[in-house]
Amino acid sequence: MTNNNKLSDENIENILKIFTERKEKIPHISKLVSNKEIAENNYNLSVSTYVEKEDTREKIDIKALNAQIKEIVAKEEILRKKIDEIIEDIGE
């Protein structure tokens, strides 16, 4: 058995408050849904059917990442040339 489904007292109070105040929509937490919409979803009461899960993936700045890659490649080329020069000097 895991602890994934255990709620703290604070979380339980927050859920009850949202429910009793019938909050229209709180992003990633709740959504007030009509009986008609539930029927249209074959009476599926799964939260994920109505409430979009928050995207917690790390946001990556592609432009900055590409700039870093370009800088690394440039440094790698300089190092490769220096290594080639050293090898050439050793070979003579």
Question: Using one digit for the tens of pLDDT, what is the confidence trace for 31-90?
Answer: 888 999 999 999 999 888 998 888 878 889 999 999 999 999 999 999 999 999 998 888
> Is the pTM value of this prediction over 0.85?
no
Read off the pLDDT of each residue in 13-31 and give the average, rounded to a whole number: 85
Identity of the amino acid at 2: T
What is d(CA 65, CA 32) in angstroms, rounded to the nearest whole number? 41
pLDDT of residue 28: 83
Domain boundaries, the chain: 7-54, 58-92
Q: For 10-69, what is the HEC assignment? A: HHHHHHHHHHHCCCCEECCCEECCCHHHHHHCCCCCCHHHHCCCCCCCCCCCHHHHHHHH
Confidence at 3, pLDDT banded by 50, 70, 90 = low
pLDDT of residue 1: 52
